[in-house]
């Protein structure tokens, strides 16, 4: 058995079955990658996208995991990775003319946010 050391400066939070399509979520995630967590939370608060509330929830969960489980300083946390994957698809039907039915697909997605701790010098340089 090989014992691999787990990197304690990287923390992850996952939101499974987010009720939104992957394209809509990915549009927001592209704008937050690599930024400081407090700046991202402030920016998403003023976003007019409905999905941004769920993204805020997931980021706050990752920050809480970092603080409680790994004793990381929340002021130096940076969003290292933010990606979204395809989830389940609910299939619904809508009645149409002449006895026909049209299908409606309700897409879900799985959101993953990974935060890591940056050193003070790197944070000052990147800001």
- Per residue in 51-80, pLDDT tens? 999 999 999 999 999 999 888 888 999 999
Q: What per-residue confidence (pLDDT) applies to 124?
A: 56
Q: What per-residue confidence (pLDDT) applies to 106?
A: 96
The domains found in the chain, sorted by start residue, are 10-126 (3.90.470.10)
Rounded-to-integer distance, Cα 55 and Cα 63, Å:
12
pTM of the model: 0.84
Q: What per-residue confidence (pLDDT) applies to 126?
A: 57
Residue 70: name the closest of 59, 82, 62 by CA.
62
- Phi and psi for 80 in degrees, rounded to 5? -80, -50
Q: What per-residue confidence (pLDDT) applies to 120?
A: 61
Q: How many CA atoms lie within 13 A of 120 on its CB side?
A: 1
Share of the chain above pLDDT 90, in %: 78
Strands, E, within 21-76: which ranges?
Answer: none
Q: What per-residue confidence (pLDDT) applies to 70?
A: 87
């Amino acid at each position: 058995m090989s014992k691999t050391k787990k990197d304690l400066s990287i923390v992850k939070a996952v939101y499974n079955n987010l009720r939104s399509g992957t394209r809509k979520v990915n549009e927001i995630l592209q704008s937050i990658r690599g930024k400081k967590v407090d700046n991202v939370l402030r920016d998403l608060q003023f976003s007019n996208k409905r999905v941004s509330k769920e993204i805020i929830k997931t980021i706050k969960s990752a920050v809480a995991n970092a603080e409680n489980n790994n004793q990381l300083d929340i002021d130096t946390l940076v969003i290292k990775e933010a990606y979204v994957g395809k989830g389940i698809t609910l299939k619904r039907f809508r009645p149409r003319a002449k006895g026909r039915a049209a299908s409606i697909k309700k897409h879900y997605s799985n959101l993953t946010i990974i935060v890591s701790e940056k050193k003070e010098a790197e944070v000052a340089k990147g800001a």
